[in-house]
Structure 1
């Protein structure tokens, strides 16, 4: 290959990346100017960051500005980490996906005993979602309290494996299974088995220890009134992180550094229901799969936080959006626009 030809290719790639950066920047600034975007966003193409910025306030009251190292509550994005914890234990032979709740929690009502770990992972357990209990969800709510609440329920929503129904309760139980088998707190396990190996230095589980989080983006509603995260459950949520740490996580999932790829692929498989149909959820990931796409993604929303991660596995495209202004932003219009830009030649 001649030097001139190589230089031409490098120039073309540089111009293309610059063009995509500019298009994404115009898109995000447009939402920001309308008062819809307040947060941090990172976009990568084939493992290379093409856009990385933060706009707005980490604290509207104290007028503290956001930067790209700001730490946000992830809400339900946390579920992919809980699922990975379970997969790591399965890889070590400490559990099997067909293990049932009766094995780990015989004290729970008998109607829960046939629910499998797989059912918990892919939301086919039939367990009621504790967020539907208005009297339960209050500041300081813990996993132990959710467990006690579940023990007082009288039935499932449906037979395990027959339907898909999103249940935060199931992921609280998965966190408790991790603690039971690892003999560590959920926060310790996540730190030692995932966050530290991946050098996710600004990622942690926020639980009853109430660790002080530096450079934290406080939660506000769409009208910029304080609406900060206040409960202490984990497994279904509970994790704080940054766009850069989540990008480390995204890239690690391609490398096999935590788990071998054949086992990881099961997380990206749609759950097969008893009637032969499939849901669109795997192990901690929503799944988008057709002739053109194979992508996994997840959204999160609680109090003033909205979060989003999208991983186009075929093209190695990544979009990470973390916000702290309630429902001011609609995630999918932003994500769809960015995906269109990334796919342009």
Structure 2
């Protein structure tokens, strides 16, 4: 009974009756828990957390540093890059055009962007808003090109040129969900082409100004001096210290908003109060639907609509350079939460877990009850798995009595079900594994490990070209390893991973993103190469 009272003392003080949540405030225990997760060691970047109940701000605190170089303390009105939290501002701008009947959810994107290739199936505005278009993510593509977005200042026209150079999709429009920044950067271009005025100008007048922000605005120039904007940082485990993480962004749509935590709370409450109107309010939280009729969490408003216990959660997170952002709204409780940090390594998920526990009374961070796996089950599970209808793979190893993928432990919650964080692995009778992560479900099959001889590697040497990437790769064997050279000083070591019939797969890192190189030899002896990275798959290279 004592333990129960201690746990209840940490909850938000509220009551639930007749299906409605009453106004509540934070208890001392709740405040202490939030303070503890925000508390930063001396010399670390900072974090700001704001929470409102109804329209009342009930928690707003800043901890850590805004600048490591100057040892400047973080303040609650500090300005951050919102990253992908910006998508809901872009979506609101698009929904405004739909409300004004200047645009329709079912309009063909090529009506406004005719330079986009004809993929044989129509891509609509609806597909862009709900991440179901199949478009490759142009930002990830730059990592493979050797000119990653974190190192180059891409403009909106640069983004459009890369998107329109892609001759293939990741999948047919409407058949799957896959997060891609290309969708929202295209939407901002479409707004410009419809309105005949810059996206930033139209969005500011129609969407930002009515809210009455103190600081929030679209970033026009990454080099502009912005009052109270914090620097961003990333922690290097190898060096055991922080480094600055510069931002060179010059695009809008998928990212680009500058905000404070109070701004995000004001934005959330503006929607909650119905000030954008009933039509837009409903559209914003209407979840996408695939061709097979299944509903996904990603909604027309650039937010994810999911459940947190018995509460509905309207949320989105963001990551750009060393900035992380998270905004969530819980309609039944009328609670809005905004968290911003300039530390790329800060785990905002811990904040969400505590918020969830305070709201629902459930210990969300606790693992589900696990079942033991026998030695024979672990032995059967060990091995390399390759995507059945896509181009990624992973290896399951065992560490004592548990299965692991990299550093992540897989816990068995049933004979045929494993979990790691929010990802579920379903072991199917035919021997494949269905991996469920967010709204994505991908199937993998077991393949053999690949242990090539130096002669095998030599047969893969040569020059490979792909014009979608404007990329020439020179493959050479060096010190017993196959190495892909973009330039003499820019190379990737390819690590042999699997073989599947006439296909041999190699994994590597391209500017920090995992890339899969799959070589196939045809019956006439011709060597083919396909390269895939997350959110951008199946780039076919021709050997010269």
Gap change, CA 1:81 and 1:184, over 3 Å in 2 = same
State the structure with more CA Rg. 2
* Distance verdict in 2 for CA 1:150–1:313, change over 3 Å: same
- Aligned partners of 1:102 and 1:112 also within 8 Å: no
Equivalent in the alignment of 2:323:
305
Instruction: Provide the C-alpha distance between the structure 2 equivalents of 1:331 and 1:162, rounded to a whole number of angstroms.
Output: 31
Alignment pair present for 1:130 and 2:138? yes
Moved more, 272-281 or 332-341: 332-341
Unaligned runs of 5+ in 2: 1-12, 15-23, 236-240, 362-544
Match of 1:186 in 2: 199
Q: Which residue of 1 aligns with 2:299?
A: 282
Matched, 1:163 2:181: no
CA contact (8 A) 1:41 1:54 kept: yes
Deviation by residue 1:28-63 (Cα, 9 ceiling, x = unmatched): 334424578721110112332211011111111122
Instruction: Name the counterpart of 1:7.
Output: none
Distance 2:33 2:275 in 1: 36
Q: Which residue of 2 aligns with 1:264?
A: 281
Contact 1:301-1:307 at 8 Å conserved across structures: yes
Q: Separation in 2 of the partners of 1:280 and 1:93?
A: 26
Q: Which among 215, 235, 238 is matched to residue 256 of structure 2?
A: 238
Deviation of 1:286 after TM superposition, in Å, equals 0.9
Which of 339, 359, 363 is residue 321 of structure 1 equivalent to?
339
Change in Cα spacing, 1:343 to 1:24, as seen in structure 2 (3 Å) is: farther
- Larger RCO: 1 or 2 (CA < 8 Å, sep 6+): 1
Unaligned runs of 5+ in 1: 1-11
Q: How does 1:11-30 map to 2 (within 5 A)?
A: 17=25, 19-20=27-28, 23-30=30-37
> 2: distance between equivalents of 1:44 and 1:200?
16
TM-score, length basis structure 2: 0.57
Whether 2:80 is the aligned partner of 1:72: answer yes
Q: TM-score, normalised by structure 1?
A: 0.89
1:138-149 to 2 correspondences below 5 Å: 138-149=151-162
- Aligned residues of 1:106 and 1:113 also touching (Cα < 8 A): no
Q: Does 1:39 align with 2:47?
A: yes
**Contact map agreement 2:222 2:249 (CA 8 A) in 1:** no
Alpha-carbon shift at residue 269 of structure 1 (Å): 2.2
Pair 1:37–1:106, CA change in 2 (3 A): same
Separation in structure 2 between the aligned mates of residue 287 and residue 112 of structure 1, nearest angstrom: 31
Equivalent residue number for residue 5 of structure 1: none
Query: d(CA) in 1 for partners of 2:286 and 2:254?
Result: 20
Q: What is the CA-CA distance between 1:165 and the residue it aligns to?
A: 0.4
User: 2 CA distance for matches of 1:80 and 1:213?
Assistant: 22
Describe the superposition over 1:155-174 as per-residue Cα deviations: whole angstroms up to 9, x where unpaired.
11111111000010010000
Q: Distance in 2 between matches of 1:158 and 1:55?
A: 44
Q: Which string of whole-angstrom CA distances, capped at 9 and with x for unpartnered residues, describes residues 103-151 of structure 1?
A: 1011221118711001000000000001221134243111110101112
- Number of residues of Structure 1 aligned to a counterpart in Structure 2: 328
Aligned CA RMSD, in angstroms, stands at 2.2
- In the alignment, what sits opposite 2:355? 338
> SS of the counterpart of 1:54?
strand
The answer to whether the 8 Å contact 1:200/1:245 transfers is: yes
Which residue of the partner structure matches residue 253 of structure 1? 271
1:19 deviates by 1.8
Cα deviation, 1:215-265, whole Å, max 9, x if unaligned, reads 00111113431113222111000111001111111111022323x223321
